[in-house]
Structures are given as structure tokens and as C-alpha cells.
Amino acid sequence: MTQTAQQYLSALGADLELPEKLKQELDTLGFTIIENVVDADWLEEMRRTIDMLVDREGENLAIEHHQEEGVTRVANLINKGTVWEKVWAHPLALAACKHIFAGGFKISSLNAREAHPDCGHQPLHADWKKPRPDFPKVHLVNSIWAIDDLTRENGAPRIIPSTHLRKELPEDVLDNVDGEHPDQVYLECPAGSVMIFNAHTWHSGTINYSGARRRVLHGLYIDRDDVPQQDQKKWLSEYTASRLTPAQKWLLDVD
């Protein structure tokens, strides 16, 4: 990691010392769940803002990314409210990224996702689809922020532990990426929790059988040299740029 990167990450609070158990889980399982990251007031503000954006933007909800049948997605949250800055620049998430990447990284995207009743299923996948001649180099780290309680009944994500240690993609080795996997774990947790995972780990959304609300945020980080999911320079508004610190601009790669 360059001296400049270290300076900016220090300014963002990413020098936070992670518990050994958390680092071990990230290294061996590929994921960890941290509860009580978001307090009640912050949660309520995010819920209100998501619902306001859905009401306001209509068909343009995910013009910067893509929409998904049976699911509401809100893309480009970086430019859609100050409340999200505490998410994408959260010291705990950045410290975990620093540990996993072991090098420079940047924001790839920040989106919201809510599976509707009886919808939300995804095939098992890894978020990085390209060949990995540089395996085990990490290209992506994802974070899922639980805005509502996540349960198996309302579509909590599933993940296959330790598959970040495999070079193959699930579609290359599994007969059925839509079916149950013997090692799958459901990421059940209360609202206010954050799941951080090496995004080479196989995972997927699941069906919201109960119909209870299950709003989440996906904060995706990417290796400094790779192409982000959303071009932050393209979408960055003057209003957002005007309030960012130099370290935040570095993290977005818009400096």
C-alpha cells in the first residue's frame, strides 16, 4: 500500500484495530457478521430515505446500475443523501477492507435492495466473474447492511463458507447453482448489523417467503486498479463533491 493510500485511510479511521475473531472469520470463512453497528435513529433515517427515494424516483431507481425482477433496487446512493456517507466511509468497513485487500482499494458502488414477497432468489455466484490468474489476490469486498431484521423466512442472504479460497466459480463446478448447498449458511441478523465478506465467496439472495420488509444496503469495494461497478466520476454531483473531504474523494477515486 502506498504512503498516500495509508494516509487517506488513516484520515478515514481505517486504522481501527479489528478483533482477532473477526479477522480469523474473514480469513478462514470469508465473511463475518457484526451486530449493533447502526443505532435506532440512524436506522430510522435510512429507512425513511430509502422509501422517499423509491416514491420519488419511480422507474429511474437504478438507472445507474440495473433493475431486478421482483426486487426494488436503488442505485448510486452516494449521490442521494448525506446519510449514506456514514455507510460507505464507515471506519469498521474500511478497516475490514484494509485487512482483506492488503493493499489499496476504492468504492465500487453503494445500492439498496429489497426483495418483494415470494421474490428475491438468486443463483449462487461470486461477485468477480473474470479469470483469476493472480489468485488468491482479492478484487472485491462486499458489505451488506441490514436495514430490517434479516431472517431465513424473509430472504436473508446465504453464503458458502470458505469458498473464497477456491479459484473456481460456482457455475463451473456445481450441477445446480439455484439449488440448496450442503454447506450454506443463512446470514440471519437483527437490523443494524453489517455483514462483511470477501466477494469471491459464493453467495446469493433468497426468497422472501414471509413478505416482511427486508431492506439492505450493498456497499461494494474494489481493488484500486480495477474498474468499479458504477463510475463515480460520471455520476458524482457538484453538491456531493462540494462536501467531500480529500480522503473521501480518494476513496471514491474522484480526486
pLDDT of residue 69: 86
Q: Does residue 136 sit within a domain? A: yes
Domain count, the chain: 1
Q: What is the CATH number of the domain that holds 46?
A: 2.60.120.620
C-alpha cell at 14: 481505517
What pTM value is reported for the model?
0.95
CB atoms < 10 A from the CB of 186, how many? 15
Q: What residues make up the domain containing 150?
A: 26-252
pLDDT of residue 6: 92
CB distance 75 to 230 below 8 Å: yes
Q: Does residue 113 sit within a domain? A: yes
CA neighbor of 197 nearest in space, from 1, 22, 3: 22
Residue 147 burial by CB count (10 A; 0-12/13-18/19+): exposed, middle or buried? buried
Q: Does residue 42 sit within a domain? A: yes
Q: What is the pLDDT of residues 38-97, one digit of tens each?
A: 999 999 999 999 999 998 866 556 555 566 789 999 999 999 999 999 999 999 999 999
Q: Does residue 5 sit within a domain? A: no
Q: Does residue 12 sit within a domain? A: no
Q: Does residue 2 sit within a domain? A: no
| DSSP sequence for 20-81 | HHHHHHHHHTSEEEE-S-S-HHHHHHHHHHHHHHHHHHGGGTTTTS--BTTEEEE--GGGS-
Q: Does residue 104 sit within a domain? A: yes
Q: What is the pLDDT of residues 122-142, one digit of tens each?
A: 999 999 999 999 999 999 999
Q: Does residue 13 sit within a domain? A: no
